[in-house]
C-alpha cells in the first residue's frame, strides 16, 4: 500500500519555452486508481515517468509513503514499482516464463521454487494457462496476449504501485475492453495504487476512481468521473469528458442528483418501484420507460432510508440544467 | 603435388613453425579487433555524434592499403610481428564495430525502456538484454573480419613477421611455384574453415526466440497438437 503525492512537480526540457509539466500538485490515495488524461503533449507521460525517475524533475517533490523519491536510489525505487507501457517491451529472446520472472530475479531474494510458483500464479491471474504459454516466445503471442504478459511481469514482485502508460492503447477495441475488464478484476484482488495514462476518456471513466485532467503541463482538474461531468472546471474539461453528451451524463450521473420530494407518486405512497441511491440516471430512466411507472422511489444504499423520488421530468430537469449551465458559460465567454 | 608434400615435409622449410607464426598473428589480430571493436561500439552507442565519428573514422582507416601502411609504420614500430598486427587489427575493427553498433541501435527502444523501468542496472541491461540480442550480429561482423585478416596476413612477411607469406614472397623471388602454393593453399583453406565455422557459430548464438524458422516450426507443432485434439 502506498500513497503518492506530487508537490509542485515541474519538468522543463532545455531549449523549450514552457514546461512539459508545470507545478502539478495532487495526491493519489492508497489502493486507488488515478487516470491521467489530456491531449498529446499535455505532459501526462512525463508526469508518470517522473514517479520512477525515468525522467528527472526540474523542481518539486514526489513523495511515496512519506519519502521523497528523489532521495532514493533510482534502481531500488524502480524495483518496487510496477511499470507497464503501450509497446509492452517484452524481451524477445526470453520465453514467457522467463519474461515474467526476470523482474523478480533482478530484485533478488527469490528461491527458484518460489519463482516458478509465482510465474504460474501470475500467468493464471492474467488469463494465460501456464502449461500452454510458459515456454512460448513473445513473437508467438498476439498483441493482447503480450500485454497480459507485460502486466504479469509488472506484478511479479507484488509492487504496491503500478505505473501504466497507455497499456491498452495499441489494442483493437474488443481486446482493449476485455483487458480493461481484466484489470478491474485483478485490481479488486490486488488493490494496487495505480497511476494510469490514457487518452481515451471512456477508458478513464471506466477504470479511474480519480481522473486528473492535464493540459499544456498544468493540472486543470482532479476529480471523480461524476465530478468532471457535473462540474467541469472549464470548457476544455467539458469537451474532453464529453459533458455535452446527454448519454454520457445519463450514464454516469447518480440518481440522487435528480431527486424530488413532492410528486404525484409520493401522494400514492410507496406504490412505485424502488431504486438504490448508487444507480445512475440512465438505469433509472430505462426502468421508468420499461415499467411505465410514474416515478421511482430512491432508497439510500446503506440505510435503506427513503430519500425521495425520481421521474422522467426530474431527469429531464437535471440534464437541461447541466446544459443551461453550458450555454450560460458560452455566453460569458463571448 | 608430390613436390608440394616434399616441400612441406622438408625440415628446412619449417612448415610447422611458419604455420604457428601465421596462426598466432591472425589469432592475436582477431582478438584485438573484437575487443576494440565491441568496446568502442558499446562506448559510443549512447551518442549519435560519437557513433558517427567512430564508424566513419574506422572506415577511413581501413581504406589505407595494408601494404602501404606496413611500410609506413616500420620506422615507428620496427620490423617483425608488431606492425603487421597493428595493420591487421585496423583492417578487422570496422565490420565488428559497425555490426555491434547496428545491433545495439536495432534493439526496440521499448525493450530497453521496459528493462530500465523494472529497475535493471546499466550492466544488467547490457549483459541480460543487449548482449544476447546482438551476439549473432556481432558474430557476423567477426566472421567478415576474421576472413579478411586471415587472407591478408600473408603481407606480414613484408615486415619480416614470417608465416605463410614468407613462402609466397620467397617463391616470387626464386620463381619457385611449389613455395608459392605451399603458402597460398593453407591460407585459402584456413579462410574457408573460418567462414564455415563462424557461420555455424553465428547460428548457434542466435537465441531461439528470435530465430525465424525455429519459432515457426514450433508453431507448426502447436497447430498439429490442436488439430489432433
pLDDT per residue of chain A (334 residues) written in tens, 0 to 9 = 579 999 999 999 998 889 999 999 999 999 999 999 998 889 999 999 999 999 999 999 999 988 999 999 999 999 999 999 999 999 999 999 999 999 999 988 888 899 999 999 999 988 899 999 999 999 999 999 999 999 999 999 999 999 999 999 888 888 889 889 989 988 988 889 999 999 888 899 889 999 999 999 999 999 998 888 888 899 889 888 876 677 777 877 888 777 877 655 555 555 678 888 888 888 888 888 888 888 888 888 788 888 888 888 888 777 776 555 544 444 444 3
DSSP conformation class of A256: G
CA angle, residues B128, B132, B134, in degrees to nearest 5: 125
The residue with greater pLDDT, B93 or A245, is B93
Residue A64, φ and ψ in degrees, nearest 5: -115, 120
- Kindly state the cell numbers that stand for A330: 458560452
Are residues A91 and B111, on separate chains, in Cβ contact within 8 Å? Answer: yes
User: Looking at the partner chain, which of B121, B208, B210 has a beta carbon nearest the beta carbon of A75?
Assistant: B121
How would you classify residue A270: left for phi > 0, otherwise alpha for psi between -120 and 50, otherwise beta? Answer: left
Tell how strand A161-165 and strand A59-64 pair up: unpaired
A91 CB neighbours in chain B (<8 A) are 111, 114-115, 128-129
Inform me whether the pLDDT recorded for B23 exceeds 70. Answer: yes
User: Looking at the partner chain, which of A54, A94, A107 has a beta carbon nearest the beta carbon of B209?
Assistant: A94
pLDDT of residue B14: 87
Q: From residue A269, how far is each of A274, A297, B45 by CA, in Å?
A: 12, 10, 79
Q: What is the mean pLDDT of chain B?
A: 86
pLDDT of residue A238: 87
| Number of independent structural domains in chain B | 1
Name the residue range of residue B122's domain. Answer: 2-228
Element (H, E) at A63: strand A59-64
Residue-wise pLDDT for B169-183, tens only, equals 988 899 888 889 988
Provide the 10 A C-beta neighbour count for residue A45: 22
Are residues B209 and A137, on separate chains, in Cβ contact within 8 Å? Answer: yes
Kindly report the nearest CA distance between residue B133 and chain A, in angstroms: 7
Give the number of A-B residue pairs with CB atoms closer than 8 Å. 82
Could you say which architecture CATH assigns to the domain A4-242?
Answer: 3-Layer(aba) Sandwich (3.40)
Q: Which residue has the cell 458559460?
A: A329
A140 CB neighbours in chain B (<8 A) are 215, 218-219, 222
Are residues A93 and B210, on separate chains, in Cβ contact within 8 Å? Answer: yes
Based on its alpha-carbon atoms, the radius of gyration of chain A, rounded to whole angstroms, reads 23
Instruction: Find the CATH number of the domain harbouring B183.
Output: 1.10.3720.10
Inform me whether the pLDDT recorded for B223 exceeds 70. Answer: no
Does the domain spanning A248-333 belong to CATH 3.40.47.10? Answer: no
Domains of chain A: which residue ranges? 4-242, 248-333
Provide the 10 A C-beta neighbour count for residue A117: 12
Kindly report the nearest CA distance between residue A133 and chain B, in angstroms: 11
Mean pLDDT of the B47-62 span: 87
Provide the 10 A C-beta neighbour count for residue A278: 12
The residue with greater pLDDT, B45 or A326, is B45
Could you give the residue ranges of the DSSP H alpha helices within chain A? 44-51, 74-79, 96-107, 112-125, 130-133, 143-155, 173-190, 201-207, 225-230, 235-241, 246-252, 264-268, 281-291, 312-333
Could you give the residue ranges of the DSSP H alpha helices within B118-176? 122-124, 131-152, 164-174
Nearest-angstrom CA–CA distance, A223 and A212: 7
Amino acid at each position: 500500500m502506498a500513497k503518492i503525492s506530487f508537490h509542485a512537480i515541474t519538468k522543463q526540457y532545455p531549449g523549450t519555452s514552457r514546461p512539459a509539466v508545470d507545478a502539478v500538485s495532487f495526491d493519489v490515495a492508497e489502493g486507488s486508481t488515478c487516470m491521467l488524461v489530456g491531449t498529446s503533449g499535455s505532459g501526462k507521460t512525463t508526469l508518470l515517468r517522473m514517479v520512477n525517475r525515468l525522467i528527472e524533475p526540474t523542481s518539486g517533490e514526489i513523495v511515496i509513503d512519506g519519502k521523497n523519491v528523489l532521495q532514493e536510489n533510482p534502481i531500488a525505487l524502480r524495483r518496487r514499482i510496477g511499470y507497464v507501457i503501450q509497446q509492452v517491451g517484452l524481451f524477445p529472446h526470453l520465453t514467457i516464463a522467463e519474461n515474467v520472472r526476470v523482474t523478480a530475479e533482478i530484485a533478488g531474494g527469490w528461491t527458484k521454487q518460489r519463482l516458478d510458483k509465482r510465474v504460474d500464479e501470475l500467468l493464471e491471474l492474467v488469463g494465460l494457462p501456464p502449461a500452454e504459454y510458459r515456454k512460448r516466445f513473445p513473437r508467438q503471442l498476439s498483441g493482447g496476449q503480450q500485454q497480459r504478459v507485460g502486466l504479469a511481469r509488472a506484478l511479479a514482485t507484488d509492487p504496491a504501485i503500478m505505473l501504466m502508460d497507455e497499456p491498452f492503447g495499441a489494442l483493437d477495441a474488443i481486446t482493449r475492453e476485455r483487458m480493461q475488464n481484466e484489470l478491474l478484476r485483478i485490481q479488486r484482488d490486488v488493490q494496487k495504487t495505480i497511476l494510469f495514462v490514457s487518452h481515451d476518456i471512456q477508458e478513464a471513466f471506466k477504470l479511474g476512481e480519480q481522473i486528473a485532467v492535464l493540459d499544456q503541463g498544468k493540472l486543470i482538474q482532479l476529480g471523480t468521473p461524476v465530478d468532471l461531468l457535473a462540474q467541469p472546471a472549464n470548457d476544455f474539461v467539458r469537451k474532453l469528458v464529453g459533458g455535452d453528451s446527454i448519454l454520457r451524463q445519463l450514464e454516469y450521473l447518480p440518481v440522487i442528483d435528480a431527486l424530488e420530494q413532492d410528486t404525484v407518486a409520493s401522494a400514492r405512497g410507496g406504490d412505485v418501484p424502488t431504486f438504490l441511491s448508487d444507480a445512475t440516471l440512465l438505469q433509472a430512466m430505462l426502468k421508468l420507460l420499461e415499467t411505465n411507472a410514474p416515478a421511482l422511489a430512491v432508497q439510500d444504499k446503506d440505510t435503506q432510508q427513503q430519500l425521495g423520488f425520481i421521474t422522467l421530468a426530474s431527469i429531464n430537469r437535471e440534464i437541461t440544467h447541466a446544459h443551461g449551465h453550458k450555454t450560460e458559460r458560452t455566453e460569458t465567454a463571448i | 603435388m608430390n613436390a608440394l608434400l616434399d616441400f612441406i615435409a622438408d625440415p628446412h622449410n619449417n612448415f610447422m613453425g611458419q604455420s604457428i607464426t601465421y596462426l598466432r598473428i591472425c589469432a592475436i589480430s582477431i582478438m584485438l579487433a573484437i575487443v576494440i571493436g565491441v568496446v568502442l561500439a558499446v562506448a559510443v552507442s549512447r551518442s549519435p555524434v560519437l557513433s558517427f565519428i567512430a564508424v566513419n573514422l574506422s572506415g577511413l582507416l581501413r581504406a589505407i592499403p595494408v601494404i602501404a601502411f606496413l611500410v609506413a609504420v616500420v620506422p615507428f614500430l620496427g620490423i617483425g610481428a608488431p606492425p603487421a598486427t597493428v595493420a591487421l587489427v585496423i583492417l578487422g575493427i570496422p565490420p565488428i564495430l559497425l555490426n555491434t553498433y547496428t545491433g545495439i541501435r536495432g534493439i526496440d527502444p521499448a525493450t530497453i525502456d521496459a528493462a530500465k523501468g523494472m529497475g535493471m542496472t546499466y550492466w544488467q541491461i547490457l549483459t541480460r538484454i543487449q548482449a544476447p540480442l546482438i551476439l549473432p550480429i556481432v558474430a557476423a561482423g567477426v566472421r567478415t573480419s576474421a576472413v579478411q585478416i586471415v587472407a591478408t596476413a600473408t603481407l606480414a612477411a613484408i615486415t619480416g613477421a614470417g608465416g605463410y607469406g614468407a613462402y609466397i614472397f620467397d617463391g616470387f623471388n626464386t620463381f619457385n611455384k611449389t613455395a608459392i602454393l605451399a603458402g597460398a593453399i593453407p591460407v585459402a583453406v584456413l579462410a574457408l574453415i573460418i567462414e564455415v565455422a563462424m557461420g555455424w557459430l553465428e547460428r548457434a548464438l542466435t537465441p531461439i526466440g528470435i530465430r525465424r524458422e525455429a519459432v515457426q516450426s514450433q508453431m507448426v507443432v502447436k497447430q498439429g497438437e490442436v488439430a489432433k485434439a
